[in-house]
Amino acid sequence: MIQATQNPASPRPTALVTGGAQRIGAAIVRELHRRGFTIALHYRSSADAAEALADSLNRERPDSCRCYRADLARLDEIGALASEVGAHLDGGLQLLVNNASGFEPTPFGEAQEADFDAMLASNLKGPFFLTQALLPLLRTAQGNIVNIIDTHVQRPLARYSAYCAAKAGLESLTRSLALELGPDIRVNGVAPGAILWPEDDAAYDSATRENMLARTPLQRLGEPEDIARTVAFLATKAPFITGQVIAVDGGRLLG
């Protein structure tokens, strides 16, 4: 099990967080950094946000965060990312957080093949092949993987069928890899509920938002830090948990 505190003479554990520049990804990065991890921060297009976050963390602890750019829909860039991360690691990779995700509407009667492929690539294909590429590093460290899924797997969202299907695939992959990669590597998932509304306001109009919160027992939005703390728990305090998906949704799946 990765310890939250390290002997100063020992290398710090390293975590690669995909899509770590903004929103939930950035909260995960900050929480893991606070707990002593060295961070490999992946981004695709949010270069300014990634560099700003890395600069902030490096001011707190020098050489504790490095940025890596890759399009996880492209196998060549996935391979290059894994190679570049590996070149900077001595003791393997203790934690991979597959957080990067695409979220776009695909109304069933209108969706095109390219729309479907984009959701599959960002939410399932990318995590699958990145995990495969990083497997030697994860095995060296006897590390673990946390996949960020979505409670919409259980409660599908109208007009987002391709997204929901891709996240359902990631949930299935989480359990499959827990079987295939044990006992050396643990694999778990975190399924956020209503944490942050999508940046595109059209995805959730005011009526949809009010209805979702009304059906949530805690009657409020969660915070990105709720997801970050759950990821950190699975990574550092749960040595006998694997193949599980923890819903962090204020109880939304109950009603």
Active site residues: 163
Under 8 Å between Cβ of 82 and 180: no
The string over 44-70, giving b where at least 16 C-beta atoms fall within 10 Å of a residue's C-beta and e elsewhere, is bebeebbeebbeebeeeeeebbbbbbb
DSSP 189-218: EEEE-SSS--SSGGGS-HHHHHHHHHTSTT
Under 8 Å between Cβ of 209 and 167: no
The residues pairing with 96 across neighbouring beta strands, listed in sequence order, are 16, 145
**Opening angle at CA 15, ends 94 and 88, nearest 5:** 90
